[in-house]
A and B are shown apart, each in its own frame.
Chain A
Amino acid sequence: MTPRPLLSVQELRTYFRTSAGVARAVDGVSFSIAANESVGVVGESGCGKSVTSLSLLRLIQRPGTIEPGSKIEFEGTDLLSLDDESMRKIRGNRIAMIFQEPMTALNPVFTVGAQLAEVPRVHESLSRRDAWARAVEMLGTVGIPDPAERAHAYPHQLSGGMRQRVMIGMALMLSPALLIADEPTTALDVTIQAQILELLAELRARTSMSVLLITHDLGVVAESTSRVIVMYAGEIVEQAGVRELFAKPHHPYTEGLMAAMPRAGTKRERLTVIPGAVPSPYEWPGGCRFHERCPYAWERCEREHPPLYEIGAGHVSRCHLAVEPERRATPHLPLAARAGAGA
């Protein structure tokens, strides 16, 4: 028997009930993460990847609700049945999160040292002096030069890359078992992104921490994760080991994302596009949610919502091509392209 995973999510549904209707942002998502594993979640804006990560920490604000029937189990505890106080302890202690824009997550009126030191003072009742020493040590760990001096700096005095390091340092103060990183390098320049990804890899090698990395960048996923979840329209549409996914993408959406990326060798040719745009969470299309944009879709795809078919070891895909593979040989112009309007 395989060991129990660190995190197990089953049939997660997070809906937003507004005057405009019900937005089914996350609509039946199941996955798990093992200890020391790095899992990537990719998809475009509006696919539900950020709402999924916020749901794990129960940080969904009204009018959003995690629907009955959803299950999130972490280190053997059912997170959705915890009272607020116990949940607060898990947040920060065992699961930490870093965001795209660290400036909004740091308090502008306190020095970064004070903000870091507050964590062990509150959670471990350390003395002021010991907490400060731990803060300085952590700043060094995340690669801030002259940590003793920089601890006295305010967030606005640091560059974007340095602020992201401080955020990571704050997240790691209590040695969490799981770090959720939501687009942690999207706002950063490419040379600084390389530094931050290297830092995350180093920290994972040194501890047994797991990382859930949410990103729209397939390059980042290829380099920093061992398993990838592809989301589209509130659902997981494909999941596989990173090598398998890039070598043999099965779902037409995954295939389309990879083909749409400009890369060496596509020079001045037309890029392959996915016509149309991500549909609205208020009215996901019937049948397969991707069928209007899909070059292989046939009648069955309009009618029947595909399950996650198992197509290989640890490789699942929500596409009827799994049972009718011969249809891949005859692509056609997708419905969304025929309608004529660009995204």
Chain B
Amino acid sequence: MTLDTPAASPLLSVRDLTKYFPITGGVMRRVVGAVRAVDGISFDVAQGETLGLVGESGCGKTTAGRAILRLIEPTSGEIHFDGEDVRALAKEPLRKLRRRMQIVFQDPFSSLNPRMTVGASVREGLTIHRLAEGSAADARVRQLLEEVGLRPEHASRYPHEFSGGQRQRVGIARALAVEPKFIVCDEPVSALDVSVQAQVINLLQDLQRAHGLAYLFIAHDLSVVEHIADRVAVMYLGRIVELANADDLYAMPLMPYTQALLSAIPVPDPEAKRARIVLRGDVPSPANPPSGCPFHPRCQHPQKDAACSVIVPPLELKEPHHWAACIKQLPTRVSWEEQQAAGATKPPERIVPIRATA
């Protein structure tokens, strides 16, 4: 797949990335199949940009984030970051590269060492990458804690002495310590209460402006992503099914799955008029995805027909800078003749639901 990129040289460029997990069976533990957690995704992230990656549990968004950092090894595909071929790097250069690519996890409690003071945790990256030593490192740790809204004296405390929001601030300080250009934020506010969530979102945005950081913001909360992201990629069963500027995607979702997903968000306004699309059934297993379009068994597009279970829809340009994967949503380069050959009876149309207005 090709994408015409707006930026001449994006900071991060991912092409046809896949991650398959083997399924073993029988007494010999032979490989009998594969879970296609990430099944050929491509996207770019420009410097200072936030790309939101959304989807429901099991869609592969977390696996994608980790495969990009090679925290898990991808099965195939290309990853270029800041001019380097990430997949070709040996252990030592990869370690060096991680200084520029960091990750913040959903639950900072499980990612912070409970026996280390918060100061020591934040300092670890400085030591590993030889960025500061001795009193210079102490000063840097205090500065980082202040920057994320904690007090310098918090350095001598342990993770259990902090609230969830404060622990997330420590996780962010730790990522920030090595002066990265890019941070994968994997559900960074999902475990937090609404009022604390707002504090952490503001912090992430302040830091982005101050340091020119790029984020891959992985989340299932579509309202949070709408607020923070410049562009959004929607994943379903290991694939990107829609990719657009955030404003365009939320105003005019084109892939039927995105349409249903957005319509399902509860609107905090009892007067809101909503046209909810309630999907039937569950997300199918990525070990045994449906043929053709992975979404076709649940799809509500009125023109859905037999061809949808045969043709794998390409992620194609439907509007300027707006890609979607649906052969029934106009325009499409999958010709009507091709669709008919696959059993189509209903020609493609353009169906766009009216968004619930708050």
Contact = CB atoms under 8 A, between A and B. Distances in A.
Given A162-B282, A222-B266, A271-B198, A191 B260 contact: yes
A260 B268 contact: no
A59 interface: no
Given A222-B272, A223-B267, A343-B163, A191 B261 contact: yes
B193 A270 contact: no
Contact of B282 (A192, A194, A261): A192
A184 B158 CA distance: 33
Interface size class of B (residues with CB under 8 A): 35 or more
B276 A190 contact: no
A191 B270 contact: no
B195 A273 contact: yes
Contacts, number: 144
Contact of A191 (B56, B203, B223): B56
A242 B195 contact: no
B205 interface: yes
Interface stretch (A63-71, A125-133, A173-181, A211-219): A211-219
A270 B200 CA distance: 11
Interface string A274-293: 11011000000000000000
A306 interface: no
Contacts of B279: 191, 194-195
A268 B227 contact: yes
Interface in B126-176: 148-151, 154, 163, 165-166, 169
Nearest to B199: A273
Interface in A99-152: 145
Contact of A219 (B220, B267, B282): B267
Interface in A284-341: 340-341
B269 interface: yes
A1 interface: no
Interface residues of A, number: 51
Interface string B165-206: 110010000000000000000000000011111110111010
A18 interface: no
A162 to B, nearest CB: 7
A189 interface: yes
B116 to A, nearest CB: 20
B195 A189 contact: no
B248 interface: no
A87 interface: no
B194 A342 contact: no
Contact of B278 (A195, A217, A258): A195
25 contacts: A44-B193, A45-B193, A160-B57, A190-B261, A191-B261, A219-B265, A222-B268, A247-B271, A256-B195, A257-B194, A262-B228, A266-B227, A267-B247, A268-B227, A270-B202, A270-B205, A271-B198, A271-B201, A271-B227, A277-B196, A340-B151, A342-B149, A342-B150, A342-B169, A343-B199
B224 interface: yes
B311 interface: no
Interface of B: 56-57, 148-151, 154, 163, 165-166, 169, 193-199, 201-203, 205, 220, 222-224, 226-228, 246-247, 250, 260-261, 263-272, 276, 278-283, 358
A264 B358 contact: yes
Given A194-B276, A268-B205, A341-B150, A189 B227 contact: no
A243 interface: yes
A10 to B, nearest CB: 28
Interface in A159-191: 159-162, 189-191
A261 to B, nearest CB: 6
7 closest cross-chain pairs (CB), A and B = A219-B266, A342-B149, A262-B227, A274-B195, A189-B56, A44-B193, A260-B198
A247 B272 CA distance: 12
B279 to A, nearest CB: 5
Interface in A224-246: 242-243, 246
A187 B186 CA distance: 17
B202 A271 contact: yes
A343 B166 contact: yes
A48 to B, nearest CB: 14
A220 interface: yes
A20 B141 CA distance: 33
